[in-house]
Amino acid sequence: MRTVDVAIVGAGPAGISAALATAETGARTLLIDENPAVGGHLHWRISQTLTDNAGLPVATGPGPQVAAELETLLASFSNLTLSLNTVAWGLFEDRVLALASEDHAEELQADAIILTTGSTDIAAPFPGWTLPGVLTARAAQTFLHVHRVLPGHHWAILGEGEDADELAGDLARCGVEIVVRHGSVDNFRASGTNRLAHVEIDDDVYEVDALAIAMGRQPDAELAFQAQARGAFVRALGGYTPFRDLNGQTSEVGVYVAGDAAGIATLPELVAEGQLAGKAAAGASDAELTRAQGLLNTVANRPRREAIERSRLTDSLNPS
């Protein structure tokens, strides 16, 4: 079985930050992602890095440009291997990670594993939600910005909050019409024969050809739970999240979770949390860890931080 010092699953902003932190220490690092390029949501949520690089070691710009620069930076480390188009589908005892790509499958063992697996869109059902033309915010952003295809010209947005506002901005930039925005699934339905043609809100009918569900996202930490890490449903963090210590380590020794997978976060927080987990996984000194924890606290978003504190992994939560 192949072995590495640190394996990182998910090459979004948190995973990249973790990988740069471990690679700088000389650790043999493997960074895995199912997509053909590193960058994760920088490729579909393109506006986040326009004016603020959030602590990423590259200049500001549209997400895909930032992602490309980060990929160049990662490639400069000879002790860092990038495994793209690769799905990490299992995490077993003793930090054995199962990987699969188009023509290859293997298990590998790592001294430390960092899960930066991100988030999944929340989609609450409503009448007509399965019609073609109804899609998640992430699908909409992926088709607009990665594939460069318009799912429709006349849009409805369901959901409210930052994700819905971000999508509205993205759609406006693509020059399509936002016909209606609505906050919740109450009294909301989509209709059409074979394909979306209308949304109905109370007694009002709107003609649309695309409907994006932008109701927020939930943490995606399935691999940690598969490895038996302990956790709980924490509403303020967006869903089921693992308990973690100050550095992001779960109840499974050597298994770390950072970024959205540990609770939906802002970009600066993803970056700082990735760096901290990377340093811890690579065995950084206490002084260095304290510094990285301090940095995370300065960028931390208050409600998320407080929720994380409440689900902090302590000895009482982790009886030996």
At residue 218's C-alpha, the angle toward residues 237 and 201, to 5°, is: 115
Please give the DSSP secondary-structure letter assigned to residue 109. E
- 134: contact with other proteins by CB under 8 A: yes
Query: Interacting stretch for other proteins, rule CB under 8 A, among 9-17, 143-151, 254-262, 292-300?
Result: 143-151
**In which residue are the tokens 């959205």 written?**
260
Q: Identity (one letter) of the amino acid at 23?
A: A
Shortest spacing between CB 9 and other proteins, in angstroms: 16
Query: Which residue, 11 or 300, is less far from other proteins as judged by CB?
Result: 11
Q: Contacting other proteins (CB under 8 A), which of 39, 133, 242, 263?
A: 133
User: With binding defined as CB under 8 A, does residue 56 bind other proteins?
Assistant: no
Please report whether residue 90 would count as binding other proteins according to CB under 8 A: no
Q: Is 13 in the site for other proteins (CB under 8 A)?
A: no
What sign does the dihedral 77-79-80-83 (CA atoms) show?
positive
**Tokens describing residue 314:** 């302590």
Quick one: which of 193, 285, 314, 316 contacts other proteins (CB under 8 A)? 193
| Window 243 to 302, contacts with other proteins (CB under 8 A) | none
C-beta of residue 24 within 8 angstroms of C-beta of residue 131: no
In single-letter form, the type of residue at position 147 comes to H
Q: Which residues pair with 106 in a beta bridge?
A: 99
Distance CA 94, CA 15 (A): 21
From the CB of 52, what's the least distance to other proteins, in Å?
15
Number of amino acids touching other proteins (CB under 8 A): 37
**Which residue is listed with tokens 């999508």?**
167
Instruction: For other proteins, give the closer residue by CB, 151 or 219.
Output: 151
Question: What is the spatial distance between Cα 250 and Cα 233, in angstroms, rounded to a whole number?
Answer: 15
- In the bound complex, what is the minimum distance in angstroms from residue 100's beta carbon to other proteins? 13
User: Contacting other proteins (CB under 8 A), which of 20, 144, 164, 284?
Assistant: 144
User: Binding to other proteins by residue 312, rule CB under 8 A?
Assistant: no
| Site track 57-86 with other proteins (rule: CB under 8 A), x = hit | -----x-x----------------------
Residue 5 within binding range of other proteins, rule CB under 8 A = no
In the complex with other proteins, which residue's Cβ is closer, 36 or 319? Answer: 36
Tokens of 81: 């291997």
- Gap between the Cα atoms of 81 and 73, Å rounded: 12
Say which residue the tokens 């930052």 belong to.
Answer: 162
∠ CA 230-248-313 to the nearest 5 degrees?
45
Q: In this structure, what are the phi and psi dihedrals at residue 283, rounded to the nearest 5 degrees?
A: 75, 40
If one asks whether residue 201 binds other proteins (CB under 8 A), the answer comes out as no
Looking up tokens 């959901």 gives 159
**13 vs 278, beta carbon nearer other proteins:** 13
Tell me how far, at minimum, the Cβ of 82 lies from other proteins, in Å. Answer: 19
- The residue ranges that bind other proteins (CB under 8 A) are 34, 46-47, 50, 62, 64, 120-121, 123, 130-136, 138-140, 142-145, 147-153, 173-174, 193-195, 197, 209
